[in-house]
Amino acid sequence: MGILSFFEKLVGKKQETHEEIMKKFLIVGLGNIGEKYHNTRHNIGFKVVDALVKEYEESFTTEKLGDLAKLKIKGKTVFVLKPSTYMNLSGKAVLYWMKKENIQVENVLIITDDLNIDFGTIRLKGKGSAGGHNGLKDIQEKLNTGTYPRFRFGVGANYRKGGQVDFVLGEWSAEEESALIERIPTSIKAVTSFVAGGLANTMNAFNGK
C-alpha cells in the first residue's frame, strides 16, 4: 500500500478537489409521503423527480431521511432526493444530504409547487422568500439562507377563498392530468439543463414555459 493510499484509509476517504465538488448536485423534489398524498398538487416535486429518475433508468432506495437515487448527467454526479420528513420538515433532509455528500448550495435545486404561478408554468430562481410555502420556509431556516436555487411548478389558484389547503392537498383534475403528460418532460429538460448548463442559462431557456 502506498503512502497516499494508507493516509486515505487512515482519514476515511480521499479529500475532494474543488472541481470534483462542483460536479456534484442535489435535486430535491418536495412532497408528503404516503399513498393519500401521492397524486396531490403539493406533491409535484415528487412527481417530477420520479419521472427524472425513470428517464435515466435508475431507481430510488430508502436511505436516511428520504428516498435517494444517484444519476450521471453530462458527466456530473446527481443525487435525487425525496425527503421522508413530510413537507414542513424538508430542510432537515436537505441539509443532511448536502453535508453527507459535500454538495454546495448553488448545486442544490429544490422542486416545489407554487400557487402564485399559472398551472404548468415553470419558474426558476436563485434566491427569494419562502412565499408562504412551509417546505421552503423550513429549508431556508435549516440552511440559514434564502439564496439557493429553486424550481417552482405552477399549480394555479383555482380555489375559493380559504380553500388553499384543500386545493394543494387535492388531487389533479382530469384536465390537469392530461396537461402534465407534456409538462413533466419539459420539467425534466429544465432539471437536466440546470445540471449541464447552470441556473442562468436554464432560467433564460425555461422560465415562463
Question: Which pLDDT tens digit goes with each residue over 139-182?
Answer: 999 999 999 999 999 999 877 787 788 998 999 999 999 999 99
Domains within the chain, CATH numbers bracketed: 16-206 (3.40.50.1470)
For the question of residue 38 being annotated catalytic, the response is: no
Contact 29, 46 (CB under 8 A): yes
User: Whole-prediction pTM value?
Assistant: 0.90
- Are 43 and 168 within 8 A, CB to CB? no
Residue corresponding to grid cell 440546470: 194
**Active-site residue among 18, 38, 42, 133?**
42
Q: Quick check: helix, strand or coil at residue 59?
A: coil
CB 66 within 8 A of CB 81: yes
Summarised one tens digit per residue, pLDDT across range 4-49 is 555 555 555 568 899 999 999 999 999 999 999 999 999 999 999 9
8 Å CB contact between 172 and 119 = no
